[in-house]
Structure 1
């Protein structure tokens, strides 16, 4: 147990002396110009990420910031795993900011808590205009990248955030929501999607809100893959064959997800993938082998209350993961898909599906009592 703890990243608030005051010796800025035998892959990783930055599938920053009385992400914030200096060092170009809720919130309380987080995200982005930009489309993500900003996408949110109302879904979409996790609602359970759940999914397709299936039951996943016209996300799912976590996907579902052109975003957490960067790379190898290079992505899952391998302790450490994949023989084409292109493809396909659906389908007026009552 002690060995395991030594390998995990201890959050700063538990051990404030974990990081030295001077620049870290493994920092890109702090390294001497001459490369050692193991440094060439890291230099290549930085060069590749400069061209193909990371689109991070999950950040718990909104909820983490709620507990801070004051913060400045531009100067650097030691109380969280994510700030603008570390995002820049890690070559992060876009990330989904989770609007997930604590367990047990339902109904009006869940809707209100989600709106509070939306308001907080907009305030944070507005207060950091030199580093962050809110984005809702692929075009806006590209504009943010071209301007040297990190694109912030809203979502995933919890299914409980809807309060079983398609009108609330449309309102959240109008406020910027782009992904919804299909768990924690009566219409998306272990038994699969109900009739109302299928109507929610169709309305999500019409709006351009992507379905996040991390943590969903196998029946729900298979039904979503059958009904959805847009590709789906698993924002925090690795390979269950390598680590038996309930949010990780068994091999047969990874194959089905790949066939449907969905995207499995592997979390960089010790709990789901393992305690070293090599463990995370093993999961990426496994998902790529089963689902295909076009169906695997990255999910930092920073600031979500989970431990990370020490080599991947915060949002600045993506080059170390890419360097490990380069040592394993990943091509630059596959790495570009992993870090940036796969996310852009899924978002673009979701936008195309929404435009087509809006031409032939009016907003749904279905009620849960009418379909599932």
Structure 2
């Protein structure tokens, strides 16, 4: 656990509210989108060209837990056949960034959940340091872009489970200081089927102040709706498809997809057979549906590789994103919408969290609330 202490980094000093722009920059930083592929090329060739300019920001990787069960001599830069994700396949799939999940097996709670999350943070940082030519940690939208421009894959820490907090806002701040950037709001007393409690709302406000994104995949409908109302920053659903097409409990019904779009959140469609279906065409159907209901600026991709789930045909590992983009090109998706899907929408949400945190830190001190005081 000493590695965690070595990796503590200073939070950038925030400016005043007058330093903030009137509105957040859009996904292309105000610049017009310029097509990058040959319109006469094959869909797969065009997909590679688009992804070379606008790589995938993958919303969920189960790699940290998977690596715990490998011998210590694995090498992700040369290639590792025991997992779905390694640097060669990330480059072949044009992945520029991905969130490494810190989720835990069921049954861990309290101090055990806190400790296991810290161990996973330690493991991720150790793995990234051991693969400097392929991977690099990032904590903000700007750092994510910088890592991509250096030819590495940006690793963002999270989502973690709400149980990792141990009902303590101090632990939330400590996890943020160690790099955590997303937290799943489910599976605890303050974020349950009944929705967010008063303490849960305070957790979400403190997440906004810190710049930790709320992940609502798997959360109850009441929690999702309340999070839309309370959060000043965009929210994520890191592993949610369309329930209208496949009745999986983690998929979102159309009313919540529409509300997510209105809140400028992001639905990241998972490439898993259980949630989206057994073929690449099924995944494309979900992406079409989410785009139609929530909007082109509110849909993203979530490989969900190395999470113990089966994947659709042609999407078996992290190298396969060009096949999906080629299918979307055949369906008439514009290059501009594809650039939002793969990279731009995640950048917008990360920037939104950064801007919200800057503003909140000017007007709000760290919360000292206790669960017994608010929910007792």
Superposed pair shares fold, TM > 0.5: yes
> With structure 2 as the length reference, what TM-score do the two structures score?
0.89
1:139 positional shift: 1.2
User: Match for residue 342 of structure 1?
Assistant: 345
User: Match for residue 109 of structure 2?
Assistant: 106
User: Secondary structure in 1 aligned to 2:300?
Assistant: strand
- Give the counterpart of 1:202 among 202, 205, 208: 205
User: Match for residue 125 of structure 2?
Assistant: 122
User: Match for residue 171 of structure 2?
Assistant: 168
User: Secondary structure in 2 aligned to 1:153?
Assistant: strand
Rounded to whole Å, the distance in 1 between the matches of 2:145 and 2:300 is 18
Q: Does 1:363 align with 2:351?
A: no
User: Secondary structure in 1 aligned to 2:132?
Assistant: coil
Rounded to whole Å, the distance in 2 between the matches of 1:233 and 1:132 is 23
User: Match for residue 300 of structure 1?
Assistant: 303
User: Match for residue 98 of structure 2?
Assistant: 95
Structure-to-structure mapping, 1:138-287, within 5 angstroms: 138-287=141-290
Rounded to whole Å, the distance in 1 between the matches of 2:153 and 2:78 is 15
Rounded to whole Å, the distance in 2 between the matches of 1:75 and 1:205 is 38
Rounded to whole Å, the distance in 2 between the matches of 1:226 and 1:358 is 20
User: Match for residue 56 of structure 2?
Assistant: 54
Runs of 4+ in 1 over 6 A off after TM superposition: none
Rounded to whole Å, the distance in 1 between the matches of 2:282 and 2:74 is 33
CA distances 1:101-152 after superposition (whole Å, capped 9, x unpaired): 1111011100000000000000000000000000001111111011000000
Rounded to whole Å, the distance in 1 between the matches of 2:252 and 2:149 is 35
User: Secondary structure in 1 aligned to 2:285?
Assistant: helix
User: Secondary structure in 2 aligned to 1:312?
Assistant: coil
CA distances 1:151-170 after superposition (whole Å, capped 9, x unpaired): 00000000000000000000
1:39 positional shift: 7.8
Rounded to whole Å, the distance in 2 between the matches of 1:219 and 1:160 is 19
User: Secondary structure in 2 aligned to 1:145?
Assistant: helix
User: Match for residue 65 of structure 1?
Assistant: 67
User: Secondary structure in 1 aligned to 2:101?
Assistant: strand
Rounded to whole Å, the distance in 2 between the matches of 1:109 and 1:100 is 13
User: Secondary structure in 1 aligned to 2:136?
Assistant: strand
Rounded to whole Å, the distance in 1 between the matches of 2:279 and 2:41 is 18
Rounded to whole Å, the distance in 2 between the matches of 1:116 and 1:201 is 24
Structure 2's unaligned 5+ residue stretches are 1-39
Structure 1's unaligned 5+ residue stretches are 1-37
User: Match for residue 31 of structure 1?
Assistant: none
User: Secondary structure in 1 aligned to 2:362?
Assistant: helix
Rounded to whole Å, the distance in 2 between the matches of 1:233 and 1:249 is 12
User: Match for residue 134 of structure 2?
Assistant: 131
User: Match for residue 22 of structure 1?
Assistant: none
User: Match for residue 323 of structure 1?
Assistant: 326
CA distances 1:271-299 after superposition (whole Å, capped 9, x unpaired): 00000000000000000000000000000
**Alignment length (residue pairs):** 336
Rounded to whole Å, the distance in 1 between the matches of 2:360 and 2:75 is 41
Rounded to whole Å, the distance in 1 between the matches of 2:64 and 2:105 is 13
Rounded to whole Å, the distance in 2 between the matches of 1:310 and 1:357 is 45
User: Match for residue 291 of structure 1?
Assistant: 294
> With structure 1 as the length reference, what TM-score do the two structures score?
0.89
